C-alpha cells in the first residue's frame, strides 16, 4: 500500500445517498457541500477509504434490498479505486431499542436496558445473533454495539436505556453475551464508550463531559464490562469524548488521551484489537483542539480508526502531513492498518493469510428475503420482548385487564418518533394491539410536552372509558431537551435528527397523569423510555416500564397488560425517589408479576 492508502484504511466516513454511484440530486448536493465528492464511489476513491458507516438520515437505509445493493456498489467501487483491492468495512450503529438505523421490515429487537430487565444472557446472545445475521445479509460487517456503559446517573442524557443497567457485573455479562452473539453471525463488534460514559448529566454530542470517578471507582463501576468484552473477543473498542481526571489529569478527552487509550486500555487491560473514536464531529472532542489536530492526536493516543471527521479533507491532510513531517511515523500508521486488516479478515472480507480479497458483496436477493425480517426472527423478537416488560406498581390488582370488565380503553400520551423511522406511533400501536386482544381501544397523542389544551382534550376523551393507558417519555430526566431522543446533530455517530422535546415535558406529562387520575377512571402508565418516570408521576392504579417505543416492546407490553403474558421483567437500574434522591424507591431487581 502507498502511504495514502494506508492512511485511508484508518478513516470511516458516512456518505449521503441510497446508491454508491447514483444518489438523488439532493444527496449529491449535500455530499459536495459536506464531503467534496458526489457519491460513495468518489468518496472511496478520493480518500482510499477503509470504512463506510450507514445512517438513516444519510438516506442509506431505505429498505433491505436497497441496503444490500448499496453494499454491493460500495465494494465494487472499492475494487476499482483501491490499488490493493482491500474491501471496505461497512458498519452501522444498530444497537436496537433507542438506537436503530435499519428499520422494518428488518427485525427490530429489544434494546440493551430491556434485555437487562429480562435478566437473561441467553436472550442477549440470541438477539445479537439475529441482528448480526440480518446485517450480514445486507453486506454490513460491523455493528457499533454493544454499549458497555454502566448507567449510574438517571439524568444521563446520552446513555440511559442504551445501557444494560446499573450493576457492573450484570452489564459485563450482557456485553460478553452480545459480543459472542454478533461474532457467531460473522459481525465485528464495538464495545463503547471507553472508559465509560454512564455517570454524567452532560452530553458529549454537545459539550465535553467530566466523569469524577476516582481510579478505584472506575475499576469497580466502569471497567468490568470492558474487561468482559475483551475476554469475549470484542473486535473493537470505541472511545468516549469525556474527561476523566483520575485517569488523565491533562483535561484531554479520552479519545485523545495516551494514558487512557494506550496506558489503560492497551497496556493494563491487555487489549490489542482495533480502537475507534466516537464520531469526530461531536462537540465533546472539538472543544480543545482544531479538526486538523484531533485526528493526529487520536492516532498518537493509540487510536486506529477515525470515525466521521467533520472536515474529511482537513483530517486526511493533517494525518499525511504529520507522517511526512515526522510527528507520526509510518510504522505507527502500519500498526493501526494491520489491526484494521485483521478485523476485516475475521469477518470474511480478507483471507486469514492476507493473500487476496474474498467475495465481499451482500447476500443474494433471495437470501435477503429469507433472512431479513424472517418469521422465525420476528417470533424470537416477540418472545424475548415478553421477558422484558416490567410491572412496577399494581396496588389494587387492576392488572391484568380483562375485556369483560375494562373493555373500553383510551391510550393517550407521548408519541416519540421511532428510532428507525419505521414503526409507531406508540399510542396507535398499543391501541391496535389491545384491540386485537379483545378490547375496544382508541388512541390520542398528546406529545411529550402536553399543554393545557392537550390535557383538557385527553380528560374529555377519558370520560366514560373503563381504563386509560398513558405512555410517558423521560419524565424523570431533569435535562429533558431536544437531545434526549436521539441526542443532537445529524453528523454524530450515535445520533439522528433531534426531536422537539422541551423542558416543559416533565410538567406537562405530570399534569396529564394527574388530570386523568382525577377523572376517577383507572389509570395505567407505561414508561416507553427510561424507567425512572414512575418516581415523578402521581400515584396511579398500575405502572409499567417498556424501555423503548418500537413496536416489538409495545406489543409485548400490551400482551402483559391484557394478561396474555405474565410480567417477568426486573429493574436493571434502581429508581430513586424524586423528593429524596438519596432514598431508593424501587431497587435493582424489583418487578411484580401475576
Catalytic residues: 205, 278
Q: Three-state secondary structure along 450-515? A: CCHHHHHHHHHHHCCCCEEEEEECCCCCCCCCHHHCCCCCCCCCCCCCCCCCCCHHHHHHHHHHHH
Between the alpha carbon of residue 193 and those of residues 22, 478, 568, the distances in Å are: 35, 23, 29
SS3 content of the chain, % helix, strand, coil (to 5): 40, 10, 50
Cα R_g (the chain), whole angstroms: 24
User: Given phi > 0 = left and psi -120 to 50 = alpha, else beta, which region is 548?
Assistant: beta
Phi and psi angles of residue 476, each rounded to the nearest 5 degrees, phi first: -85, -5
Which alpha helices (DSSP H) does 326-480 contain, by range? 330-346, 365-371, 375-386, 426-436, 452-462
Q: Buried b / exposed e across 533-560, counting CB within 10 Å, b at 16+?
A: bbbbbeebbbbbbbbbbbbbbbbbbbbb
Paired with 142 in beta bridges are 91, 188
- CA nearest to 95, candidates 570, 430, 547, 483: 547
Give CA–CA dist 228/221, Å, rounded: 13
Beta strand pairing call for 467-472 and 523-527: parallel
Beta strand pairing call for 542-545 and 390-393: antiparallel
Paired with 586 in beta bridges are 575
Looking at residue 265, the DSSP 8-state letter turns out to be I
CA–CA–CA angle 341, 347, 349 (5° rounding): 60
- CA nearest to 407, candidates 429, 432, 383, 438: 438
Amino acid at each position: 500500500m502507498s502511504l495514502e492508502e494506508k492512511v485511508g484504511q484508518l478513516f470511516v466516513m458516512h456518505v449521503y445517498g441510497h446508491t454508491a454511484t447514483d444518489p438523488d440530486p439532493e444527496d449529491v448536493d449535500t455530499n459536495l457541500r459536506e464531503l467534496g465528492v458526489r457519491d460513495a464511489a468518489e468518496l472511496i476513491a478520493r480518500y482510499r477509504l477503509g470504512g463506510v458507516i450507514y445512517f438513516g438520515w444519510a438516506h442509506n437505509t431505505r429498505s433491505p434490498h436497497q441496503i444490500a445493493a448499496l453494499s454491493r456498489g460500495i465494494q465494487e467501487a472499492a475494487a476499482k479505486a483501491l490499488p490493493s483491492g482491500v474491501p471496505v468495512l461497512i458498519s452501522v450503529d444498530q444497537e436496537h431499542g433507542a438506537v436503530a438505523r435499519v428499520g422494518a421490515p428488518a427485525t427490530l429487537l429489544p434494546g440493551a436496558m430491556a434485555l437487562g430487565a429480562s435478566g437473561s444472557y441467553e436472550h442477549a446472545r440470541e438477539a445479537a445473533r439475529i441482528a448480526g445475521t440480518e446485517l450480514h445479509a445486507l453486506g454490513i460487517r460491523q455493528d457499533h454495539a454493544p454499549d458497555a456503559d454502566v448507567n449510574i446517573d438517571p439524568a444521563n442524557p446520552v446513555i440511559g436505556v442504551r445501557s444494560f443497567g446499573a450493576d457492573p457485573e450484570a452489564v459485563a455479562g450482557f456485553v460478553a453475551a452480545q459480543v459472542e452473539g454478533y461474532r457467531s453471525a460473522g459481525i465485528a463488534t464495538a464495545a463503547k464508550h471507553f472508559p465509560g460514559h454512564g455517570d454524567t448529566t452532560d452530553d458529549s454530542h454537545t459539550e465535553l463531559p467530566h466523569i469524577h470517578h476516582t481510579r478505584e471507582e472506575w475499576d469497580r463501576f466502569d471497567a468490568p464490562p470492558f474487561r468482559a468484552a475483551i475476554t469475549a473477543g470484542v473486535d473493537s473498542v470505541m472511545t468516549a469524548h469525556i474527561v476523566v481526571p483520575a485517569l488523565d489529569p491533562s483535561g484531554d478527552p479520552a479519545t485523545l488521551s495516551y494514558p487512557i487509550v494506550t496506558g489503560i486500555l492497551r497496556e493494563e487491560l491487555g487489549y490489542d484489537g482495533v480502537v475507534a473514536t466516537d464520531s469526530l464531529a461531536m462537540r465533546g472532542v472539538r472543544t480543545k483542539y482544531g479538526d486538523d489536530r484531533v485526528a493526529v492526536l487520536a492516532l498518537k493516543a493509540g487510536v486506529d480508526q477515525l470515525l466521521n471527521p467533520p472536515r474529511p479533507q482537513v483530517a486526511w491532510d493533517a494525518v499525511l502531513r504529520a507522517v511526512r513531517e515526522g510527528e507520526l511515523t509510518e510504522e505507527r500508521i502500519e500498526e493501526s492498518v494491520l489491526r484494521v486488516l485483521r478485523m476485516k479478515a475475521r469477518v470474511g472480507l480478507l483471507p486469514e493469510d492476507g493473500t487476496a480479497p474474498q467475495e465481499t458483496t451482500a447476500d443474494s436477493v433471495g437470501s435477503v428475503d429469507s433472512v431479513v425480517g424472517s418469521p422465525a426472527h420476528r417470533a424470537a423478537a416477540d418472545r424475548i420482548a415478553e421477558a422484558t416488560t416490567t410491572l412496577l406498581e399494581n396496588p389494587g390488582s387492576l392488572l391484568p385487564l380483562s375485556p369483560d370488565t375494562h373493555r373500553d380503553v383510551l391510550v393517550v400520551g407521548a408519541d416519540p418518533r421511532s428510532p428507525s423511522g419505521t414503526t409507531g406511533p406508540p399510542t396507535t400501536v398499543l391501541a391496535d394491539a389491545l384491540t386485537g386482544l379483545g378490547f375496544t381501544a382508541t388512541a390520542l397523542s398528546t406529545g411529550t410536552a402536553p399543554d393545557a389544551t392537550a390535557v383538557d382534550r385527553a380528560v374529555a376523551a377519558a370520560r366514560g372509558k373503563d381504563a386509560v393507558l398513558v405512555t410517558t417519555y423521560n419524565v424523570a430526566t431533569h435535562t429533558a431537551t431536544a437531545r434526549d431522543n436521539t441526542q443532537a446533530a445529524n453528523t454524530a455517530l450515535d445520533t439522528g435528527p433531534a426531536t422537539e422535546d422541551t423542558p416543559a415535558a416533565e410538567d406537562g406529562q405530570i399534569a396529564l397523569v394527574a388530570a386523568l387520575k382525577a377523572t376517577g377512571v383507572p389509570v395505567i402508565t407505561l414508561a416507553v423510555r427510561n424507567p425512572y418516570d414512575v418516581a415523578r408521576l402521581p400515584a396511579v392504579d398500575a405502572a409499567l416500564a417498556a424501555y423503548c417505543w418500537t413496536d416489538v416492546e409495545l406489543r409485548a407490553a400490551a400482551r402483559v397488560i391484557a394478561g396474555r403474558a405474565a410480567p417477568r421483567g426486573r429493574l436493571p437500574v434502581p429508581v430513586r425517589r424524586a423528593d429524596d434522591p438519596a432514598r431508593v424507591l424501587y431497587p435493582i431487581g424489583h418487578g411484580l408479576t401475576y
